[in-house]
Structure 1
Amino acid sequence: MEGITVQRPHARTALACPAVLLLAALTACGGTAQADTEKPTAPTGVTAQAGSATSAHVMWEQASDDTGITGYDVYRGGKKVLSVPATKLMTDVDGLTASTDYTFTVRARDAAGNVSTESASVPLTTPAPAPDDRKAPTTPVQLRGKADGARTVTLSWGGSTDDVGVTAYDVYQEDARIHSVPGTGTTARLSGLRPGTVYTFTVRARDAADHSSPDSRPLDLTTPSAPGDPASTAPTGLRTTTTAQEKEFVVDLSWDQPETGGTIPAYQLFLNGELTTTIVWGGTPPAGRATYRLTLADPPGTRYSLKIRPKLPDGTWGDFSAQRTVVLTG
């Protein structure tokens, strides 16, 4: 049997471009080092509003950079107080003093450590402490909205009342607060969304004592798909009914199955964002509206967020349904 010889490069060839320093290596090999020296643009659209007598909610629009934003720094009176990742365009600043004037600015950062100039300065005056404010605001009503495009939606709702006064409305998407508006406003425009995606929104009212109302009814909105993108494969019309049975709770789910060009053999069920079970049909998969019964043994008052997604005929997992919130009561 003839052997196979592996040719090893001579050490002289391998070291012809030594890597003591990246810049020296690139220069020796005829390359050019491209250092990132360009600063990101300054964030625009910065707003600040009082969340309570001792907190503020700061928001801004996304900045741009030649290589990419990695984070934002929030300044209070010229002093940095918070840093957040690039995926966040809002944050809460706590530890403020009631009836006090503040100014806030925001800077963007990139991976090379370049920092933008400060945004425009935004003033804010925290309100006086609420006098014996013990009640939460009433629930916002008649939440409605529309998709303004593939990445933007506009929401509106009926105002809440409070024994002292509503200071803010907080918009939630799948139990995470994503936006806030002053208590005098009842509309919100949300940008930076994904095309062809179903979103579930709720709104809570908040007062100066930081009491929050119950959630408004949920609103499902689907952004249009981008040109050339495939149609959404999200289940629609998801409904839940919860009943108590002895020491357990039964949650009955029903939904309309998406059009996928074939049979959907299974669904994944997520509770609080975690995969809980895979629903596999015992026989022939149902056509049209599907149902499933989930049994839970948690204490009364336990709250769950719930959503599902289908297994497509090609074996991949499809889009998530809108989210539903269930509270174990009976």
Structure 2
Amino acid sequence: MQRPPTPAVLACACAAALLLTACGKEKDTRPPSVPAGLTAQAGSATSVHVMWDHAEDDTGVTAYEVYENGRRVMSLPATKHMVDVDGLAPETAYRFTVRARDAAGNLSGPSTPASVTTPERTPDDRTPPTRPTGARGTVDGPRAVTLTWSPATDATGVTAYDIYQEDARIHSVGGDETRARVTGLRPGTVYTFTVRARDAAENSSPDSPPVDLTTDRAPGDEEPNTAPTGLTATARKGAVDLTWTPPDTGEPVTEHQLHLNGELATTIVWGTPPAGPRATYTMTVTDPPGTRYSVKLRARLPDGKWGDFSAQRTVVVAGG
């Protein structure tokens, strides 16, 4: 006669089952998809900008690992899809790949390799490239835009163009390119882009004129855009003058938030709506000449909620 299992045996069997099934769920053994779209651009004689598209995973990608000729050189959180690899040698060929990792530790296969050769060192070069001109853009649906610009010039040659969105670099292309497609954007959102040229000594040009683009709304989204439009910022001694057109909400807009360098600076309140279609505000500044400010606005809507942000403007404090 077979004896029934003891409580200790049952406990061990249950624990083993839990380890194998993770409380009824199968252990995650499926790796993320292979990262696509890998590019590598020499940013200087000693650095390379590596960029790739986000990978997919059934439980979520948690990290990306960057390899140079099979040797891991960096590990980045899943929110990142580009990195500058520094400390390289001038006039040297490098070969990069990227792998995605999930929470269970599964690694994707390596991406298609991207090869790049760093330029020669130019230690005495302190002159930045000229400002890129003719910047313009087109909207490619709800989540992407395409930017174009005219080439900049530099005494030793432009090695890269960096794309900035509200003062944060989000994309880079080679110095021989004058076009970039930016993806991963949000539908129905105002974006402000600028372009900077960079040479082998890491000198960056001034920003191109800003390009304001509003992505298409998602299908079925009929909500109107509530961002202030036409924002201008003009610096003079001790002040910055702002003008803009409030959003058309069907009712008067008497309150705006002013954000300075990404942080709330003040709330602008009028007792009555501004006369005419344009609103104005003068911001007093006490920082020394040459200080750089980034400003943007949003309006309080009739329902009490804050609307969409305006395009961002950058201004430099004027001297005496």
Global fold match (TM > 0.5): yes
Mark the CA change 1:22 to 1:310 in structure 2 (over 3 Å): closer, same or farther.
farther
What code does the residue aligned with 1:233 have? T
Query: Which residue number in structure 2 is paired with residue 124 of structure 1?
Result: 116
TM-score by length of 1: 0.88
Q: CA deviation at 1:112?
A: 2.2
Mark the CA change 1:264 to 1:34 in structure 2 (over 3 Å): closer, same or farther.
farther
What code does the residue aligned with 1:272 have? N
2:307 match: secondary structure? coil
Q: Mind listing any 5+ residue stretches in structure 1 that lack a counterpart?
A: 1-16
CA contact (8 A) 2:254 2:274 kept: no
2:208 to 216, 220, 223: 216
* Residue correspondences, number: 305
Q: CA deviation at 1:25?
A: 10
Query: Which residue number in structure 1 is paired with residue 165 of structure 2?
Result: 173
CA RMSD of aligned residues (A): 2.1
CA contact (8 A) 1:171 1:179 kept: yes
Does 2:39 match 1:47?
A: yes
CA contact (8 A) 1:23 1:33 kept: no
Query: Which residue number in structure 1 is paired with residue 273 of structure 2?
Result: 285
Query: Which residue number in structure 2 is paired with residue 241 of structure 1?
Result: 234
Deviation per residue, 1:15-57 (Å, 9 max, x gap): xx9xx96964998xxx622332211001011010110010000
Aligned equivalents of 1:315, 1:131: Cα separation in 2: 56
Identity of aligned residues (%): 63
Q: CA deviation at 1:286?
A: 2.5
Does 2:192 match 1:200?
A: yes
Deviation per residue, 1:201-225 (Å, 9 max, x gap): 1111111111111111111011111
Does 2:125 match 1:133?
A: yes
Mark the CA change 1:78 to 1:328 in structure 2 (over 3 Å): closer, same or farther.
same
What code does the residue aligned with 1:243 have? R
Q: Mind listing any 5+ residue stretches in structure 2 that lack a counterpart?
A: 1-10
Mark the CA change 1:295 to 1:53 in structure 2 (over 3 Å): closer, same or farther.
same
2:252 to 248, 263, 283: 263
What code does the residue aligned with 2:243 have? S
Does 2:29 match 1:37?
A: yes
Query: Which residue number in structure 2 is paired with residue 4 of structure 1?
Result: none
Does 2:98 match 1:110?
A: no
Q: CA deviation at 1:263?
A: 2.9
Query: Which residue number in structure 2 is paired with residue 154 of structure 1?
Result: 146
CA contact (8 A) 1:103 1:121 kept: yes
Aligned equivalents of 1:173, 1:164: Cα separation in 2: 27
Does 2:261 match 1:272?
A: yes
Aligned equivalents of 1:329, 1:23: Cα separation in 2: 71
Aligned equivalents of 1:24, 1:37: Cα separation in 2: 16
Aligned equivalents of 1:71, 1:328: Cα separation in 2: 40
Aligned equivalents of 1:25, 1:111: Cα separation in 2: 17
Query: Which residue number in structure 1 is paired with residue 77 of structure 2?
Result: 85
Mark the CA change 1:22 to 1:159 in structure 2 (over 3 Å): closer, same or farther.
farther
What code does the residue aligned with 1:235 have? P
CA contact (8 A) 1:48 1:56 kept: yes
Larger CA deviation: 285-294 vs 270-279: 285-294
Aligned equivalents of 2:171, 2:272: Cα separation in 1: 44
CA contact (8 A) 1:265 1:312 kept: no
Deviation per residue, 1:82-121 (Å, 9 max, x gap): 1222222111000000111111000112222221111111
TM-score by length of 2: 0.90
Aligned equivalents of 1:106, 1:157: Cα separation in 2: 29
Mark the CA change 1:23 to 1:312 in structure 2 (over 3 Å): closer, same or farther.
farther
Aligned equivalents of 1:174, 1:216: Cα separation in 2: 13
Aligned equivalents of 1:110, 1:260: Cα separation in 2: 45
Does 2:245 match 1:252?
A: no
Query: Which residue number in structure 1 is paired with residue 137 of structure 2?
Result: 145
Query: Which residue number in structure 2 is paired with residue 231 of structure 1?
Result: 224
Mark the CA change 1:194 to 1:21 in structure 2 (over 3 Å): closer, same or farther.
farther
What code does the residue aligned with 1:285 have? P
Aligned equivalents of 2:174, 2:273: Cα separation in 1: 49
